[in-house]
Structure 1
C-alpha cells in the first residue's frame, strides 16, 4: 500500500497475514483500487497495526471477541475468515460453538443462528 505509515503499516501487514493468512491478504491487495486504497490502508494500520498488534490480549482471545462482535453485527461476510483465524489461534470447534451460543443470549437467536450456519459450513471446508 502506497501511503501506509511505516510504524503501523508494516506491523499491520505482518499481523494481518499471520491472522488471516497470505492467501486472503494477497487477494485483498490484488483487488485494491485507487478508490479502495484509503480504506485498505485504514484497516491495515488501524485494525491490524494498532489493535490486533497490542499486547493486552492474546490472539486467541481477540478471535473469540471478534466472532462475538461479528455475530452481533450480523457481519456474515466476515465470519468465515474469522472462523478460520480462530482455528489458527487454537480455538476448537466446541469453543467456537460456545462463543456463538453465548453471543445468542445477548444479541438474539437469529444473529447466532446465522453465525452457526456460516461457522459450520466454514469448519466443514477445513
Structure 2
C-alpha cells in the first residue's frame, strides 16, 4: 500500500512499498505555474537535505524550485520530463514524478501533511 503526503512548497511525496519516496508537484502547483516548458531533475546518487533545492521546473510564467521533502539519497530521476516537460501539466499527481529518494530517516515522512491538511493549506495559499 502506498501513502501520499504533502509539503508546504506543494510537493507530493508517495511512500512506496520498498520504503523509497517518490516526489512530484501537486496539481495546485502545476496550475499556478501554467504551461511547463523545462524540467531539470537531480542526479542519481545526490545526497539531499530536507528542504534543499532538488530540481527546477520552468513554465511560461516563472521558474520554480522543487525541494527535497526529507533528507535522503536520489535513487532515480524521471528523464521523461526532460523530453516532455508538459507531462507535469497533464499528469502532475500521477505519472509526472520528478525524483525518487531513499530517505535518511523514514520517520520524517510522517511529519509531512496528509491529504486533508494539504487541501486546507492549499485553499489558503
Q: Same fold (TM over 0.5)?
A: no
Could you say which structure has the larger radius of gyration? 1
Question: Whose strand proportion is higher, 1 or 2?
Answer: 2
Larger relative contact order (C-alpha < 8 A, sep ≥ 6)?
Answer: 2
TM normalised by structure 2 equals 0.29
Q: Which has the higher helix share?
A: 1
